[in-house]
Amino acid sequence: MKITEIRRHYIYVPYKAPVAPYWGWNAPCYGAHAVIIEMLTDTGIVGIGETAGRETVEFHARCAEGLEGRNPLAINENLALLRARGERPAAISGLEMAMWDILGKASGMPLYQLLGGKCRDRVNLCGLMGVKPPEEAADTAELYYDTWGFTSIKTKAGRAIEEDAAIALAMHERVGNRVKLRFDANQNYSPADVLELAKVYRQVNIEYFEQPVHQDFLDSYASMREPAGIPIALNESVGDARSVTGIIRANAADALVADIPDAGGIMEVCRLAAVADAADIPCAFHCWHDLGVKTAAMAHLVSALPGFSLASDTTYHGLEEDIISSPFNITAGAISPSDQPGLGIELNHEVIDRYRKKEID
């Protein structure tokens, strides 16, 4: 089998309320930027992939160069080639995902089967929201629980301790112990800030405090975990499997938040999950404002990898529309991977054309 052509679609799908506007610690995000890959082959099989739309068009174009004529089933060889050329993990990951989709379609098996079969049928999701005023955050948490059944909910944090404390208390007061709360400060606090905020976070049903200080300060994480008295998760510190060995050696985390573009592909997510699992550190899937293709890949991975025992972050419920033919339906806070070959999804080209980013056409 040979790759004959690689097509890339640069997509922007706006969010609707209550996900929009999605405020991080410093700026709002109004929608999902993604790159959708179609990898055509001489057999007629087309592999589909998706990666975060944060790399430039040039990086994605360069990464795809030289793959035509190669065997898409030789995933390890193709990965080695792209890594040796110094391509970026996020750009590699969309192409590698399409190769897995081709492998599944060629073998007639869903991705979870290729990864060894399911260890769980349902993939629990954690509903994400940006920073909102405390009462609005509480309203949104209640709406998330009532509408989609999320029992894990994550809010952004990191602008001010007082603000984050008020948000946590308001959310907890409203949803109580029915919902586990995650707070993601995106590296914006000092260790002293963490100990201060932890006094409040210890009073709520916290699942974990995510990446409160700089991603390189693993020793700080190790020394603050016990005095903080709350679970600490790392996200920006987590890239490939090698990064996880560093975190384990430093004894720096209670949980890891990992993702395909950061790891550099599905294969590398499997490796890092195995390393974390061997050290008894549970993983949660990160969300890069994903559309349906990557959401499908996430569902297969979480279904097959025992170490992903925590709910997967999602903003999927906020998308104005999805670009796959049969969008996921979130029920009881969860989705299931498709039983169809590969990722088990098809693109809706009409929707893709509608959300294609105009400025780079």
Interface residue list for Mg ion (CB under 5 A): 184, 235
Q: Nearest approach, Cβ of 192 to Mg ion (angstroms)?
A: 21
Structure tokens at 169: 């208390």
**Nearer Cβ to Mg ion, position 184 or 290?**
184
The answer to whether 287 and 315 have CB atoms below 8 angstroms apart is yes
Q: Nearest approach, Cβ of 234 to Mg ion (angstroms)?
A: 9
d(CA 361, CA 357): 7
Q: Nearest approach, Cβ of 210 to Mg ion (angstroms)?
A: 5
Q: Which residue's CB atom is positioned nearest to Mg ion?
A: 235
What's the start-to-end Cα distance of the chain, in Å?
Answer: 31
The answer to whether 100 and 342 have CB atoms below 8 angstroms apart is yes
**Nearer Cβ to Mg ion, position 93 or 235?**
235
**Nearer Cβ to Mg ion, position 163 or 321?**
163
- Among 248, 240, 303, which Cα is nearest to 276's? 248
- Among 92, 111, 36, which Cα is nearest to 296's? 111
Q: Nearest approach, Cβ of 16 to Mg ion (angstroms)?
A: 22
d(CA 37, CA 39): 6
User: How many residues in total does the chain contain?
Assistant: 361
d(CA 67, CA 99): 11
Q: Nearest approach, Cβ of 118 to Mg ion (angstroms)?
A: 27
**Nearer Cβ to Mg ion, position 99 or 128?**
128
**Nearer Cβ to Mg ion, position 124 or 237?**
237
**Nearer Cβ to Mg ion, position 152 or 235?**
235
Q: Are strands 283-285 and 312-314 parallel, antiparallel or unpaired?
A: unpaired
Q: Nearest approach, Cβ of 253 to Mg ion (angstroms)?
A: 13
d(CA 350, CA 347): 9
Q: Nearest approach, Cβ of 211 to Mg ion (angstroms)?
A: 5
**Nearer Cβ to Mg ion, position 87 or 184?**
184
| Helices and strands in the chain, H and E counts | 13, 14
